[in-house]
């Protein structure tokens, strides 16, 4: 049978896969033994990818409705795209370019992302393009930039084998990044002296296997990290030489953490003071400490502070730039990092440039061949839906993501989708919650059907390859964006349908898009001018930076102690503990945490089609401490009504010793397709971090009553 090497489309581990086909159909999947992210391993989701490859639920042809009172009807591609070009051009002419917003996805390929970003910022002339990566990694980005000077993960997967202390914070790695967790287990088996500390309010499978579990109260991470630094200062466990030679701002931070004594922090975090001291000692004294962290730190109204406070610990102890040492943000989505590389967010520009920097805007305008890139920051995810609800954004174009399931505060999101004059949904599946709101549905190719690249958590760029043609009339996302862009360019320039010729969007293949993106990285921290499709095909996946003339990419960064800041020094950031946006009270006494299950992915548009993936958890269950259940007269399996200030849903309750009293947990995956109400995110909060603009999906105050 023909076999094609590609990359898993789920999490940021970025496992290599081998797709087997028969007669134009995907029939089997195996791990790619040559891929350095997984060496042949796959988790339950990756191993069942072939079972998601049929046409069930797929969008197969363009659909259009001219008024909300009509159903959508099948149309030709030309008809759909001409209609969109005319309507979007009219909105731009009547209301200005900021009346248009694009909400795209960390599951798009880098080439898709690049074209969308150029279309919005270079042609339409607005920065209103943001992605579901805003819900995922933007606090990690802001934390890296504040401390290390650039959005560059300094570590790599091989550091797991070199580490002597693994500090896992806000990550159930065993569920969310399973192949990486197998690697952690192996490293611990090979060296039983390795210490593993897990910081998580829940006793997850990851926490249960730790040498030290710190079940902190939700949202108290900054207090914990400051407390650990206090111990390191008090007990003289700092790397003074590193601080002196390679950092700035330590004195202010030292002053700030004075008040975070172990006793004070124990009170704030709800963990024993001696455990805080123990964690500080293991972290500082280990020959190499590697931190692994994810949404527990990022999805917070002070996520940037949480990230910075953790990186402070690495800088204070010199635990960075050496094998096995450094901060390592685990990417949630398969290509959140690739999207940032091309600047596909409201505040970023191509090649890790900043929108706020006039020189960077001028560089990108020159590279793209446009007069200018607008200076006004675009609306970020939550802001975009708020602006649509307020009637400021008239056109919402949504690609490869399902905000009517995945965004917090679903009442807000659905009001926005109803208020917008034109909702375009570019999707592989026609039965998602968001597709129901589409005025125009554009069928997109998906995994196994399209070509391009993605970048995983360790800066490794892998090829994604097509094994079969897309079904029906579905097209690759970059093709759809280019076909629309050519029409819109003609409309804006000449006011008619024209010939669709374009100098801005001349691409005939994804490789041409990649090559243009590559040129925007020249001389930047992520320089990939030494890479090409041919080299990736010949040598396999590569890490960036990989500048022209290099023989290989950089395994880890900052080994020389020089950081990409103006003075070459990393910066300590003095952070203070703040409570989450919404505190429990008498009406809403429980803290709701949301997160992933082992066998499901995001809104289940793909994993929800594989029966065997429901054998782990068949339905969304509210995990609750047995004492809390007894007090409310609830028994295992009872239906309970869970209500927040924004909405309510009914789910079954599961007694769980993983939960501390006063806290409950719900998986994030189920939306309104699977349950009454608007799913888990009917309850969550849209309040976001002031710097990263990432919403606090992991903490809301709720009430639980017998239904």
Chain residues binding ligand SF4 by CB under 6 A are: 8, 10-11, 13-15, 38, 42-43, 45-46, 177-179
Q: How far is the CB of 529 from ligand SF4 (least distance, A)?
A: 27
Question: Which of residues 9 and 384 has its CB atom nearest to ligand SF4 in the complex?
Answer: 9
Whole-number minimum distance, CB 707 to ligand SF4, in Å?
34
Nearest to 375 by CA among 366, 365, 385, 384: 365
- Comparing CB distances to ligand SF4, the nearer of 46 and 343 is 46
Least distance from C-beta 402 to ligand SF4, angstroms? 18
128 versus 331: smaller Cβ distance to ligand SF4: 331
Nearer to ligand SF4, 36 or 343 (CB): 36
φ, ψ of residue 313 to 5 degrees: the values are: -65, -40
Q: What token pair was written down for 593?
A: 């945490």
Least distance from ligand SF4 to the Cβ atom of residue 20, Å: 16
Nearer to ligand SF4, 43 or 438 (CB): 43
Give whichever of 44 and 515 is closer to ligand SF4, judged by the CB atom: 44
Q: Which of 553, 453, 468 is nearest to 511 (CA)?
A: 453
Sheet holding 422-427, edge to edge: 73-74, 63-64, 440-443, 422-427, 395-399, 100-104, 129-131
Alpha carbon distance 488, 142 (integer Å): 34
Alpha-carbon radius of gyration of the chain: 24
- Work out the burial of residue 473: count CB atoms within 10 Å of its CB; fewer than 13 is exposed, 13-18 middle, 19 or more buried: middle
Angstrom CA distances, 627 to 327, 587, 588, stand at 37, 19, 17
The least CB distance from residue 109 to ligand SF4, in Å, is 15
Distance separating alpha carbons of residues 10 and 602, to the nearest angstrom: 9
Asked whether the beta carbons of 168 and 292 are under 8 A apart, the reply is yes
Give the nearest distance from C-beta 42 to ligand SF4 in angstroms. Answer: 4
Minimum distance, C-beta of residue 158 to ligand SF4, in the bound complex (Å): 16
Please report, for the chain, how many H helices and E strands are present, in that order: 23, 28
CA dist 299 and 592 (Å) reads: 13
Specify the residue, 14 or 303, whose C-beta has the smaller distance to ligand SF4: 14
Tokens of 310: 């953790």
Cβ closest to ligand SF4, residue 337 vs residue 384: 337
Output 11 or 464, the one with its CB closest to ligand SF4: 11
Phi, psi of 374 (to 5 degrees): -60, 150
Tell me the CA end-to-end span of the chain in Å, nearest whole number: 53
Smallest distance, ligand SF4 to C-beta of residue 54, A: 19
13: Cα separation from own chain's centroid: 12
> Which residue, 43 or 271, has its beta carbon nearer to ligand SF4?
43
| Dist CA 246 CA 560 (whole Å) | 10
CB of 292 to ligand SF4, least distance (A): 14
- Please state the closest distance from residue 51 (CB atom) to ligand SF4, in A: 14
């Amino acid at each position: 049978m023909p076999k094609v090497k590609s990359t898993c489309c789920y999490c940021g581990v970025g496992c290599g896969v081998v797709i087997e086909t028969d007669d134009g159909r995907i029939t089997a999947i195996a791990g790619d033994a040559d891929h350095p992210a997984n060496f042949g391993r796959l988790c339950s989701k990756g191993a069942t990818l072939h079972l998601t490859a049929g046409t069930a639920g797929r969008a197969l042809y363009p659909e259009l409705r001219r008024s909300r009172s009509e159903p959508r009807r099948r149309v030709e591609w030309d008809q759909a795209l001409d209609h969109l070009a005319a309507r979007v051009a009219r909105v731009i002419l009547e209301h200005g370019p900021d009346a248009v917003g694009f909400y795209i996805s960390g599951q798009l390929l880098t080439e898709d992302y690049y074209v969308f970003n150029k279309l919005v910022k270079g042609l339409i002339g607005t920065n209103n393009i943001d992605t579901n990566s805003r819900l995922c990694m933007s606090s990690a980005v802001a934390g890296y930039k504040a401390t290390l000077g650039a959005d560059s993960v300094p570590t790599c997967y091989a550091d797991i084998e070199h580490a002597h202390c693994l500090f896992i914070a806000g990550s159930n790695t065993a569920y969310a990044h399973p192949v990486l967790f197998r690697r952690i287990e192996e490293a611990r088996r090979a060296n039983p002296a390795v210490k593993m500390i897990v910081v998580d309010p829940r006793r997850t499978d990851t926490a249960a296997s730790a040498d030290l579990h710190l079940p902190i109260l939700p949202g108290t991470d900054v207090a914990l990290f400051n407390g650990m630094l206090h111990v390191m200062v008090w007990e003289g466990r700092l790397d003074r030489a590193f601080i002196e030679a390679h950092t700035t701002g330590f004195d202010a931070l030292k002053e700030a953490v004075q008040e975070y004594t172990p006793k004070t922090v124990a009170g704030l975090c709800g963990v024993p003071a001696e455990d805080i001291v123990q964690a500080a000692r293991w972290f500082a004294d280990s020959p190499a400490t590697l931190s692994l962290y994810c949404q527990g730190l990022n999805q917070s109204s002070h996520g940037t502070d949480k990230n910075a406070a953790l990186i402070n610990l690495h800088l204070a102890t010199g635990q960075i730039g050496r094998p096995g040492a450094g901060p390592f943000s685990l990417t949630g989505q398969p290509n959140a990092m690739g999207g940032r590389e091309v600047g596909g967010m409201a505040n970023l520009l191509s090649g890790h440039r900043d929108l706020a920097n006039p020189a960077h805007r001028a560089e990108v305008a020159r590279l793209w061949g446009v007069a200018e890139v607008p200076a006004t920051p675009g609306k970020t995810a939550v802001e975009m839906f708020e602006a649509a609800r307020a009637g400021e954004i008239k056109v919402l174009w949504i690609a490869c993501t399902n905000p009517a399931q995945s965004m917090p505060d679903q009442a807000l999101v659905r009001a926005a989708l109803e208020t917008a004059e034109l909702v375009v949904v570019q999707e592989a599946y026609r039965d998602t919650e968001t597709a129901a709101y589409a005025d125009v549905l554009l069928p997109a190719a998906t995994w196994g059907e399209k070509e391009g690249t993605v970048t995983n958590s360790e800066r490794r760029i892998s090829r994604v390859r097509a094994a079969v043609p897309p079904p029906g009339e579905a097209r690759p996302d970059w093709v759809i964006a280019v076909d629309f862009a050519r029409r819109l360019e003609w409309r804006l320039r000449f006011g008619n349908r024209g010939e669709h010729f374009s100098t801005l969007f001349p691409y005939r293949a994804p490789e041409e898009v990649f090559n243009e993106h590559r040129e925007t990285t020249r001389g930047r921290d992520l320089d990939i001018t030494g890479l090409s499709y041919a080299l990736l095909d010949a040598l396999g996946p590569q890490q960036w930076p990989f500048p022209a003339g290099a023989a290989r990419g950089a395994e880890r960064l900052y080994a020389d102690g020089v950081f990409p800041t103006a003075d070459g020094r990393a910066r300590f950031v003095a952070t203070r503990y703040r409570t989450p946006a919404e505190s429990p009270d008498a009406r809403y006494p429980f803290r709701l945490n949301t997160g992933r299950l082992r066998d499901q992915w995001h809104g289940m548009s793909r994993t929800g089609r594989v029966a065997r993936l429901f054998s782990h958890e068949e339905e969304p269950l509210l995990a609750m401490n047995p004492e809390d259940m007894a007090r409310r007269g609830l028994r295992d399996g009872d239906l309970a009504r869970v209500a927040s200030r924004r909405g309510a849903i009914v789910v079954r309750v599961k007694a769980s010793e993983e939960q501390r009293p006063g806290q409950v947990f719900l998986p994030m995956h189920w939306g309104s397709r699977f349950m009454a109400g608007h799913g888990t995110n009917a309850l969550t909060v849209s309040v976001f971090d002031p710097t990263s603009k990432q919403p606090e999906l992991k903490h809301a105050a709720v009430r639980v009553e017998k239904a």
